[in-house]
Amino acid sequence: MAKAELATKRHKSVESRLKKILLKGAPGMPETRGIQATDEIKAEWSLAYKYYLRAPGDRFDKKKDRTQRIDYVAQEMKLTRKQAKRRIRNYEAWQRNIKKGIVTP
């Protein structure tokens, strides 16, 4: 009986936290990409994405394809894989936000 009560308390706690986040908006949401970034940063994202598109990959396996492309970007720009992945992801989010009208190019 105590376990059931504890589970419902946890559920209500998580539910209330989610409501607060949705009402207030989580800090640092991806929508700020492209608003706060400088032109130099955006140029770096664009360069990384150009390398990404040019990179060889495995066209039959989506996961392996993306991994190989990100590795290529990291190698070309002399970055760690994590840094290259972040630049690609930021560029893609920036383009989505332009399309939504949240940011101007």
pTM (two decimals): 0.69
Q: Quick check: 30 and 102 in contact, CB under 8 A? A: no
Domain borders along the chain are 29-100
Local confidence pLDDT in tens for the 105 residues of the chain: 565 665 565 566 666 665 655 555 555 555 677 788 899 999 999 999 999 999 999 989 999 999 999 999 999 999 999 999 999 999 999 999 999 888 887
What is the pLDDT, as a whole number, of residue 104?
A: 80
Residues 31, 97: Cα–Cα separation, whole Å: 7
- Residue 45 CB: number of other CB atoms within 10 A? 23
What is the pLDDT, as a whole number, of residue 102?
A: 86
What is the pLDDT, as a whole number, of residue 36?
A: 86
Of 80, 72, 74, which Cα lies nearest the Cα of 54?
72
- Residue 96 CB: number of other CB atoms within 10 A? 15
